[in-house]
Amino acid sequence: MIALASDCLVFRLASGESVAVSAEMLSVELMGSTIELFDPEFVRHAAHAVFHYFQQDQGRETVTVGEFTEALEKVLRGLKPSNLKVGAVGSPTVSELDLARLARESGEGCELFFFPRLRDELRQHLGRSPRMLRFHGLRGCVKELVGARRWTLRCQALEERIVEFLRECLGAESKKGELALVVE
């Protein structure tokens, strides 16, 4: 038997076929009025989050296309633009942070300064009691910290470390289930 690559899930198709797919191979196509609601890059990140959920959080190696689609729909339904407005008590339901700006302020190749600043920024944003934390500019942040013009394996590794760091910090700092994390 051939072992499944660690970054893959097996998707069972309605026809009965099974296809091994990595997160990078995912392609999501929106139809109808939903096309206008979401940025394609945002949808790509949401699909990667659902992929991670099944693979890492659920420990699954196989998922049906229907299960994946249903989970992605739930995520996108929960993040529709009408939910991204200022709440009734005046605190924003979405708190945003520009990771690329934070990397520039930390200096090229200065991961040593970046991670503590990121943790401090996360704590400040959590103090505002948002329902969603949105970190954008991840790709630019990584390239700034690595000092790269093109995406490399080192960039990929640092990107994964930053996302994992955010998950760990969020898990330690907030109550589970009350906050959504979006990193794009």
Parse the chain into domains and list their residue ranges: 8-83, 85-183
Q: For 108-159, how does the pLDDT look when each residue is reduced to its tens digit (9 = 90+)?
A: 657 888 999 999 998 888 888 787 788 888 899 999 898 888 989 999 899 9
Q: For 70-113, how does the pLDDT look when each residue is reduced to its tens digit (9 = 90+)?
A: 888 777 776 655 444 334 343 447 788 899 999 988 876 578 88
- What φ, ψ does residue 32 adopt, rounded to 5°? 65, -145
Tokens describing residue 96: 């945003």
Contact 106, 145 (CB under 8 A): yes
At residue 119, the pLDDT reads: 92
Tokens describing residue 69: 């689609």
